[in-house]
Amino acid sequence: MFEEDNAQWGLVHALVLDGEGGARAIARTELNDLELKSHESLWLHWDRSHPQTQSWLRNASGLSEFSCDLLLEENTRPRLLGLPNNELLLFLRGVNLNPGAEPEDMVSLRIFGSAQRVISLRMRPLRATDELLGEFEQGEGPKNPAELILYLAQHLTLKVQDLIGELSEIVDDEEDKIDADERYTPEHGSILQIRRRAAGLRRFLAPQRDIFGQLTRTKLPWFTADDADYWNELNNSLTRYLEELELTRERVGLVLEAEDRRLNVRMSRIMYRFGVLTGIFLPITFITGLLGINVGGVPFSNDPYGFAVTCGVMLVIGVGQWWFYRRLQWL
């Protein structure tokens, strides 16, 4: 795919779509003299952090300064912006599946789209674009810019589905462990991490869902009639995923609440037992303390059976209290 030739220019890959699901790769040096046929279109995928990318975008892409500023912004949120001449800017977010990265630290994909050209920029690698290249190699890729943008959005959405399913399975596992073993204590740090991950995903997926809804109503000449149905399906999919995320957050809350209730019940039971034991030993402690004072007239102080009598009295008191507590159903 000429990636080695293109790397020094910041161009990840350049593809000419043949209009039938296939594509041919071209090098950066071929762009200046490239002439597209009526059924062909061009996809340029750039590394946004590369200086040559920024230089080409501002000086050779033909885009307005306004469009270049937006595409090169440091921080963006999912958004859709219509441009003159039936062009658009589309900013999407994808799950970060790079090694050592947090999936909810989503990767930004900035897209410029027109009738015969798509320019996309990313900072970090995206699995979605790699899968799209595989589809081109099999001749099953998108046929035009409208389908290309749609395919990118679909691949990004599928990765979200996999991550949300993973989070849901973790919560399922924790719930099963709690139900199976009343002494099981979930790791609060990992449980709270699930909630934070769900919140991070929702931050970008909610506006992205709204964008898919806007694209359902977008009427550009180079969009086909069926595109609206596919965008509507993506909108419904993201709505379902957001509902699943909200449910996952609520279930995490229920897991933590269940653990707190079990901990409170366990502590109450322990304190109750301590209270009963204290109630039993309180009168016995009073007797031993009273007989241990160093003053005259202490009963049985000179009686050889005094200790045995005292122990018997305390035993009778203890048994009496045990019987009394049993009658009250405290034991």
Are 289 and 250 members of one domain? Answer: no
| Residues of the domain holding 140 | 3-262
Closest to 117 (Cα-Cα) out of 153, 87, 97: 87
Other CB atoms within 10 Å distance of the CB of residue 44: 23
Query: Both 247 and 311 in a single domain?
Result: no
**Measured distance CA(292)–CA(299) in Å, rounded:** 10
Q: 131 and 38 in one domain?
A: yes
The SS3 of residue 94 is strand
Question: Is 269 within a domain?
Answer: no
Please identify, among 213, 234, 262, the residue that sits at the C-terminal boundary of a domain.
262
Whether residues 301 and 168 share a domain: the answer is no
Are 227 and 300 in a shared domain?
no
Same domain, 281 and 164: no
Domain membership of residue 19 (yes or no) is yes
Residue 86 contacts residue 220 (beta carbons within 8 Å): yes
Same-domain check for residues 104 and 200 = yes
Is 197 in a helix, a strand, or coil? Answer: helix
Same domain, 201 and 52: yes
Would you say how long the chain is, in residues? 331
- CA dist 128 and 93 (Å) reads 11
End position of a domain, from candidates 232, 262, 292? 262
CB 2 within 8 A of CB 26: yes
Verify that 165 and 87 share a domain, yes or no: yes
Chain centroid to CA 65: how far? 35
The CATH number for 298's domain is 1.20.58
- How confident is the model over 122-181, as pLDDT tens digits? 988 888 888 899 999 999 999 999 999 999 999 988 888 888 888 888 888 888 887 787
- In a domain, residue 234? The reply is yes
- Local confidence pLDDT in tens for the 331 residues of the chain: 445 455 557 899 999 999 999 999 998 888 888 889 989 999 999 999 888 898 999 998 999 999 999 999 988 889 999 999 999 999 998 887 766 666 566 788 999 999 999 999 998 888 888 889 999 999 999 999 999 999 999 998 888 888 888 888 888 888 888 778 777 777 777 788 888 888 888 888 889 999 999 999 988 999 988 889 999 999 999 999 999 988 888 888 888 887 777 778 778 888 887 887 787 778 878 878 777 777 777 777 777 877 788 888 888 888 887 887 777 777 6
Same domain, 298 and 217: no
Say yes or no: 217 and 301 in one domain: no
Question: Is 39 domain-assigned?
Answer: yes
Q: Model-level pTM greater than 0.85?
A: no
How far is the C-alpha of 231 from the C-alpha of 234, rounded, in Å? 5
In a domain, 93, yes or no: yes
Separation CA 19–CA 299 (nearest Å): 111
User: What is the pLDDT at residue 186?
Assistant: 76
The answer as to whether 268 is a domain residue is: no
Are 255 and 310 in the same domain? no
Tell me, what amino acid is at 272? Y
CATH (domain of 84): 3.30.460.20
In a domain, 305, yes or no: yes
In the chain, the number of structural domains is 2
The residue out of 262, 284, 319 marking a domain boundary is 262
Residue 149 lies in a domain: yes
